[in-house]
Amino acid sequence: MELIENSLIRQILNGATERYAELVQLHENAVFALIARIVGSCEEAEELTQDVFLKAYSNLHKFKQQSTFSTWLYRIAYNKAISQTRSRRIVQLELDESRLIKISDEELDAFEQSESSNDKIERLIRAIEALPSEERALITMVYYNNLSLQKCAEITDQSLGNVKVKLHRIRRKLYQMIKSENYG
Amino acid sequence: MDNMERNNQQNKMIQQALGRMNKESLSPDFKARLMAQIRQREYNREMWIGVGLATTFIVFVCLMVYLAYRIYLSMGWTKIFTPENVYQLKLWTMIFISAPLLFIFDKYASPKILAFFDKIDPRK
């Protein structure tokens, strides 16, 4: 995959502009899925996806192959989507930090085994939608786009340890939100 | 339930939830619209480069004419076109004309020629 991408990039930089369509084909759905889950609107996500691919095309000569093309592209998409949500100035839900710490692993287990999964998923969707955009982006990259934690760290410009801690906190937060239904 | 099992169960749950969010996909003409926009940008870029090069060339020619006129005013043509100077003038004219042409060829024509030979390469 990486070899194909690098060969395509070389050809595009050498003047074969039309081959960019093949690069777009490889990543358009994943990029759109990530942006759609961060911004929450499909129309806006499509517009942003287009901006991301245009920006990637204009800056293709700056891509130095220090990371994979997908990481580089995701990074553009992540930054674009996050800055878009920031410009909207949505008031994010603030949870009581002390309550997050008190959640034990046993409590999480009991919750997972207790309810019907459909209802649980519906509540989980509402909880995810209420998360701040950075956190929604992180769980989307990890659980939906199936990116490695190392890749997520590169995309979000954080250390690997920081990403792990954040992910753990998000999962606890989601549990607390589902339990208390005090979001939205 | 150990940590790994719990993580997996949560992963599945979160994956399912994320899968149900924003199910719509990109419109079918997304790629076509994007490529049309890229082609337009390329065209605009090349047009502005062309305009820039043409302007530079015109300014350069005007400058040369003006310099020649100033030399004429100070020396007169008969002093400029001595057998030694004509050789020098020919040389400089060739350099000044061939340098921009080489630049244009290297920047625009050469990648296109290489891409063309790459496309018809029988080994691919």
Read off the CATH number of the domain in which A41 is found.
1.10.1740.10
Quick one: average pLDDT of B46-69?
86
CA-wise closest residue to A178 among A106, A101, A100: A100
| Residue position matching structure tokens 């607390």 | A176
**Residue A104 confidence (pLDDT):** 67
Q: Which domain holds residue A34?
A: 2-88
Residue at which a domain ends, from A36, A65, A88: A88
Q: How far is CA A82 from CA A89, B25, B28, B94, B117, in A?
A: 11, 20, 26, 55, 43
Residue A49: which of B15, B18, B24 has the closest Cα? B24
ipTM here: 0.75
Q: Are residues A46 and A102 in the same domain?
A: no
Determine which of B2, B5, B9, B14 to mutate to test the interface with A (most A C-beta atoms within 10 Å).
B14
In this prediction, residues A39-58 reach a mean pLDDT of 92
Contact yes or no for A45 and B41 at CB 8 A: no
How does the average pLDDT of chain A come out, rounded? Answer: 84
| Closest chain B CA to residue A19 | B35
Q: How confident is the model at residue A73 (pLDDT cuts 50, 70, 90)?
A: very high
Least CB-CB distance to A37: which of B22, B25, B118? B22
Asked whether A49 and A57 are in contact (CB, 8 A), the reply is: no
Hey, of A17, A34, A39, A126, which one would you mutate to test binding to chain B, going by the most B CBs within 10 A of its CB?
A17
- Is the predicted pLDDT of residue A80 greater than 70, yes or no? yes
> A184 falls in which pLDDT band (50, 70, 90)?
very low
Amino acid at A57: Y
A48 inside 8 A of chain B by CB? no
Tell me the pTM: 0.71
Name the nearest CA neighbour of A100 among A161, A158, A163, A179.
A179
Higher pLDDT among residues A87 and A40, named by residue: A40
A182 CB near a chain B CB, below 8 Å? no
Q: Region A52-64: what's the mean pLDDT?
A: 92
Q: Is A144 on the interface with B (CB under 8 A)?
A: yes
The number of folded domains in chain A is 2
A82 and A102 fall within a common domain: no
Looking at residue B124, what is its pLDDT? Answer: 57
Last residue of a domain, one of A88, A122, A138: A88
Confidence label for A114 from pLDDT (cuts 50, 70 and 90)? low
Q: What is the CATH number of the domain that holds A166?
A: 1.10.10.10
Confidence of residue B122 (pLDDT cuts 50, 70, 90): low
Residue A113 is which amino acid? Q
Question: How far from chain centre, in Å, is Cα B26?
Answer: 31
Shared domain check, A109 and A175:
yes
| Residues A59 and B41: beta-carbon distance below 8 Å | no
pLDDT tens digits, A20-38: 999 999 999 999 999 998 9
Q: Could you report the per-residue pLDDT of B80-105, keeping only the tens digit for each?
A: 677 777 788 788 888 888 887 888 77
Question: What is the percent of chain B with per-residue pLDDT over 90, rounded to a whole number?
Answer: 8
Residues A118 and A172 in one domain: yes
Q: Do A109 and B6 touch (CB under 8 A)?
A: yes
Non-local (6+) Cβ contacts of A39 within 8 A are A45, A48, A81, A84, A85, A133
Nearest to B35 among A21, A45, A49 (CB): A21
Query: Of A27, A54, A88, which marks where a domain is finished?
Result: A88
Candidates B9, B27, B115; nearest CB to A46: B27
Partner residue opposite A11 with nearest CB, options B21, B26, B115: B115
Rg (CA), chain B: 31
Q: Pick the closest to residue B15 from A34, A139, A108, A29 (CA basis).
A: A139
Q: What pLDDT, on the 0 to 100 scale, is given for residue A35?
A: 93
- Listed in sequence order, the DSSP H helices in B76-109 are 77-80, 83-104
Q: Which residues from A are below 8 Å from B33, CB to CB?
A: 50
Nearest by CB to residue A53, choosing from B3, B20, B34, is B34
